[in-house]
Structure 1
Amino acid sequence: MAEKIVAGLVGGAGYAGGELLRLLLNHPQVSLAFVQSRSQAGKPVYETHPDLLGETDITFTAEADAPVDVLFLCTGHGEAKKFLATATIPAATRIIDLSQDFRWNEGTEAAFVEADGKTFIYGLPELQREKIKEAQHIANPGCFATAIQLGLLPLAAEGKLDAPVHVSGITGSTGAGQSLSATSHFSWRTENVSTYKVMEHQHLREIRRTLKQLQSEQVPPIHFIPYRGPFARGIFITSYLQTNLTLEEAQELYEGYYAGHPYVHLTRQNPDLKQVVNTNKCIIQLQKHGDQLVITSMIDNLLKGAAGQAVQNMNLVFGLEETAGLKLKPSAF
């Protein structure tokens, strides 16, 4: 067996950090060197992530204090830039950032970001898998951005986004992070639904940039209404737009685009969110109603929308099987 990849994790106390930790501990070709969290330093990780009791005895460190082949950044937005500005990281170390700090560069539509002498490639494998394989640093996409883009990429690739796209999406409470807020508190969230950031969600910038990258002609408006859902995890997206494609033509277009991509699956049955929760899958269903194509796309916000996609990107960067360490069973019931 080849020598294992040595990984380090900065910001391991949150939801995405906990999921990434679980994946790395069970990855057959990864050795975990450290898990950093200043708030939890010195504590066993299983005290913060009780699901890991019996899985590991590793403790949180205050600093990223060991050389690694790949460094995952699971810090809050804005903190990754601060960390890299002060940390001394060997040039050979690959960096995969799960925050939004390197997903977007103001003033450019390029699918990469230059920062502090480092080039971060936008890490959506279904968009640019070959570029990811050659990348030194990866900016992991946002969760809503991943789910919406996977529903629209095949159309953009064929120049078929020629009408405004209307999108609604509901997400679980873990998408808001682990820090308590009024809208993530159980007593508020349970049996409740609300909108937020209507038409101005930050992930729209990623989505528009990607679509413009694929479709050289004018990209139509994307009208997005996000909802907070009364459940813990998962994202359920419904997008629709006017098109002259028949349902069978659209189905063929999507099947052709995603052929060879192991985590996007088309279904002709009515899908439900539990099919993707606890997996790295995206499930897509197409419907045609009159001249409207309706696209349902679903992911787990903590896996394909965060930690799972980060591991998928690591696999590609290091030449591993793309699905290594990600063969996960959905909750289902």
Structure 2
Amino acid sequence: MKALSMLLLVVLGLSGWSNAGASERREFCVFDVAGASGFVYRTLQDYHRKAALAGVGLNMRPYTDEDQAVADLRAGRCDIVAVTDMGARKFNDFSGSISAIGAIPYYEDLKVLLHILASPRVDRHLEQNGYEVLGVTPMGAAYLFVNDRAIDHVEALEGKRITVFEGHHDARHMVEYVGAVPVAAKISDFASLFNSGEADISYAPAAAYEVLEMFRGMGSKGGIVDYPVGQVTVQLIARADEFDDAFVRKSRRIMSRLYPEAMRIVRQYERSIPEERWVKISPEAVRGYQEMLRSVRIDMQQSTEDSGMLAAGVYHDDMMTILRKVRCYTNPGAMECSADNRE
């Protein structure tokens, strides 16, 4: 009997749990449009395991409504919430600026940025207004889903109806800048707006092709423009001082190191899209998109109109400078790296 008791103590000790530890488990609320079977939820199960090894037990709960997950964090029903950049903007404009339009065109840029975010050098920016960011990991590049393959260059956007997420003021500014028509949308309904023909264009990660069946809105003429207009990330938010500094630093490193596995799944979704569905664009068109997106960001920051100032207000100046430096680190020959009007 004594031997059995000792064995139980050893097993409990190895697993990192005791009755006291179990009673201290925190609520981890994860937004994923597909719930517990989704890509985000499955990716963050690895975070869940590594947090336990770091001494923090988490009870994962899936949410298919991001607004509800945010509300439950504010109400104290969640200790950590996993949200998209749009959800994170409600708590932190520094990490929320990662999804600035066109600011991170390539995955290599994002990989460099995630290393920076896991560094103590930016700690002071990751806590704002009583909340802190516990880490960032990829969800995939946002591409333009179009109902007409002829929409393969910037000028073709004029007059087209483009979904814009509620509160995504910078995207609305871009849509209006190119002469397109914004269609108000939420994460819960943007795909249905595109699929039903109420919008000509919608932007989303490649996973939306399968998960949200956005191939329906493409019909026989549409496709996905093979140029990222931004990056979508998963960000963990918690109340400040809810966790000790050692775990906060550990959490940010864990999220940064999820990059290879997250990208494996992202690329799997991208490769699963039929080749003929990708709208390949010319090098000239790529440069056109790059310069247009940069011009939109600069226009917002210099605008004296209410809409422009509202849009620019979602960007954190220090993050925009970091993003520009990252782009010029990975692509030093880009025009913006020698331009006078640098961000």
Q: Identify, as 1 or 2, the structure richer in helix.
A: 2
Task: Report the structure number with the largest CA radius of gyration.
Answer: 2
State the TM bucket, normalised to the shorter chain.
Answer: 0.3 to 0.5
Compute the TM-score of the two structures, normalised by the length of structure 1.
0.33
Compute the TM-score of the two structures, normalised by the length of structure 2.
0.32
Which fold has the larger relative contact order, with Cα–Cα distance below 8 Å and residues 6 or more apart in sequence?
2
